[in-house]
């Protein structure tokens, strides 16, 4: 039965009983060979059509890839495909999962925008080649679901945080909860510039999270505060212009983040995290930064 959490009391209880999940050790990235801004499907892309500097994008992408490698992660590279300028955002096309027996699974996304729908089969092929069990959502019943753009695992716990409102539907989480037997905490997104959960919610470790509060409802903020004892709040400029909350903390210690997020970095340091600044300037033109340029795997 689907286990959907919308109340603080149930969440606190669920957190206490939740099973553990290993931290991911591998990363999937898609080369930015065909990355560009060709259409507008989020407010950040407005005015940026045709402005991407391809060689700069390649360089920025390689720095991020090497960052993950240097932190000890195995990075899988897939070739970006022509005609899919957003394919480089590999957080979006699927949601991977490892079950208690160590078997690997993935739910394939139903992209919200027509322009991105055909990216998904490339990821499906990748999963099949790598021994994953692939699961599908019924597109007759579920309008959209954009993978780890909106569905984010609690660090090392068998609990999923599910954002909905712009790119993913609530209904998708009922199916996912059922399929994987995992509780899903629902968070409604209410700010159009923060259209994916990963633009305003970055899990750091079991007890800590970085958020942009105006992206959430009062109830959502209450859920977040009842689950995490440390909630770092990004200021507007850093969240909106530098995508501070689209940072990635893959190991509970090191945070890879767009350069210039000074307030957030100060807070990260105070709470014992190390920050690694990278330049994702070309990708910000498309409404994405570190978190959505990779997919964490086991």
Cα distance between residue 198 and residue 296, in whole Å: 13
Verify binding: residue 29, ligand ARG, rule CB under 6 A.
no
Cα 134 to Cα 120: distance, rounded to the nearest angstrom? 12
Check binding of 149 to ligand ARG (CB under 6 A).
Answer: yes
- Residue 90 touching ligand ARG (CB under 6 A): no
Query: What are the CB-based long-range contacts (under 8 Å, 24+) for 174-180?
Result: 174/2, 174/4, 175/2, 175/137, 175/138, 175/142, 176/95, 176/107, 176/137, 176/145, 176/151, 177/2, 177/3, 177/4, 178/1, 178/2, 179/105, 179/107, 179/135, 180/97, 180/99, 180/105
92 binds ligand ARG (CB under 6 A): yes
Beta strands across the sheet bearing 160-164: 3-5, 183-188, 160-164, 151-153
Among 154, 157, 191, 196, binds ligand ARG (CB under 6 A): 196
Nearer to ligand ARG, 213 or 230 (CB): 213
The nearest distance, CB 217 to ligand ARG, in angstroms, is 20
**By rule CB under 6 A, what count of residues binds ligand ARG?**
16
248 labelled catalytic: no
> Judged by CB under 6 A, which stretch of 5-13, 75-83, 168-176, 284-292 contacts ligand ARG?
284-292
Minimal distance in Å, beta carbon 85 to ligand ARG?
A: 8
**Residue 292, φ and ψ in degrees, nearest 5:** -85, -5
Which residues in 164-193 contact ligand ARG (CB under 6 A)? none
User: Could you confirm whether 292 is annotated as catalytic?
Assistant: yes
CB of 132 to ligand ARG, least distance (A): 20
Identified catalytic residue from 44, 154, 191, 196 = 196
Residues at the interface with ligand ARG (CB under 6 A): 41-42, 45, 86, 89, 91-92, 116, 149, 196, 198-199, 286-288, 292
Known catalytic residues? 196, 292
């Amino acid at each position: 039965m689907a286990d959907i959490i919308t109340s603080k009391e149930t969440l606190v209880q669920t957190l206490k009983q939740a099973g553990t999940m290993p931290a991911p050790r591998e990363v999937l990235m898609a080369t930015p060979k065909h990355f560009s801004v060709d259409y507008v499907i989020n407010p950040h892309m407005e005015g940026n059509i045709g402005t991407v500097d391809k060689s700069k994008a390649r360089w920025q992408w390689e720095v991020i890839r090497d960052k993950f490698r240097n932190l000890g992660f195995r990075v899988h590279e897939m070739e970006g495909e022509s005609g899919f300028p957003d394919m480089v955002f590999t957080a979006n096309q699927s949601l991977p999962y490892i079950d208690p027996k160590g078997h690997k699974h993935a739910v394939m996304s139903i992209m919200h925008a027509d322009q991105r729908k055909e990216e998904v089969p490339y990821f499906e092929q990748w999963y099949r080649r790598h021994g994953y069990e692939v699961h599908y959502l019924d597109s007759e019943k579920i309008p959209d679901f954009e993978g780890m753009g909106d569905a984010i695992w609690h660090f090392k716990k068998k609990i999923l945080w599910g954002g909905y409102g712009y790119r993913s539907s609530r209904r998708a989480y009922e199916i996912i909860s059922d399929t994987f037997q995992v509780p899903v905490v629902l968070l409604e997104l209410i700010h159009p510039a923060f259209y994916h959960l990963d633009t305003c919610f970055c899990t750091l470790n079991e007890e800590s999270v970085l958020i942009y509060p105006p992206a959430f409802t009062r109830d959502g903020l209450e859920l977040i505060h009842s689950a995490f004892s440390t909630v770092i709040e990004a200021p507007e400029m850093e969240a909106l212009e530098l995508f501070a909350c689209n940072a990635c903390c893959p190991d509970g210690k090191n945070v890879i983040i767009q350069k210039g997020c000074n307030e957030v970095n100060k807070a990260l340091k105070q709470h014992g995290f190390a920050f690694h600044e990278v330049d994702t300037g070309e990708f910000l033109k498309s409404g994405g930064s570190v978190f959505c340029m990779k997919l964490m795997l086991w």
